[in-house]
């Protein structure tokens, strides 16, 4: 039987995130990896994709119950089929392994005004 080790959900207000990015020139580089920035900037409405990835990072932090994790330590990528996935630093991976957490399931969705992410750690 697979046991759930953690669940996290986050909702991101796209307008607020856009304001944070416009006010702070370093925001993107502080929160997102180069790969995430490049991916989002290739999209027609990049802010929606940044918001989804931001929500995914926050949902992961909630799922592992560790507020000490920095957002940039979590990278949201897409697998070969286009599904969102999470890439972590070695330290975070090791901590998850100690908790017998072997899999991370991630879902991201958005409207024009909000993005939501759910992260389940198994």
Q: Which domain holds residue 23?
A: 6-121
Return the structure tokens found at 44. 């027609």
**pLDDT value at residue 2:** 84
Residue 56 belongs to some domain of the structure: yes
Which pLDDT belongs to residue 66? Answer: 85
Decide if 16 is inside a domain: yes
pTM of the prediction? Answer: 0.95
Instruction: Share the mean pLDDT of the chain.
Output: 96
Number of compact structural domains in the chain: 1
- Domain assignment present for residue 1? The answer is no
Rounded Cα gap, residues 62 and 10, in angstroms: 8
Task: Give how far Cα 97 sits from Cα of 24, 66, 105, Å.
Answer: 36, 15, 15
CATH number, domain with residue 34: 3.90.470.20
The answer to whether 49 touches 21, Cβ cutoff 8 Å, is no
pLDDT digits (tens, 9 = 90+) for 67-108: 899 999 999 999 999 999 999 999 999 999 998 999 999 999
Tell me the average pLDDT across 109-121.
98
């Amino acid at each position: 039987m697979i046991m759930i080790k953690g669940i996290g959900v986050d909702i991101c207000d796209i307008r607020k995130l856009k304001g944070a990015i416009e006010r702070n020139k370093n925001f993107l580089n502080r929160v997102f990896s180069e790969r995430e920035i490049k991916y989002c900037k290739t999209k027609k409405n990049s802010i929606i994709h940044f918001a989804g990835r931001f929500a995914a990072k926050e949902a992961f932090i909630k799922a592992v119950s560790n507020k000490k994790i920095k957002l940039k330590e979590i990278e949201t990528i897409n697998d070969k089929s286009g599904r969102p996935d999470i890439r972590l630093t070695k330290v975070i991976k090791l901590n998850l392994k100690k908790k017998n957490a072997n899999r991370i399931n991630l879902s991201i969705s958005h409207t024009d005004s909000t993005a939501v992410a759910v992260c389940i750690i198994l």
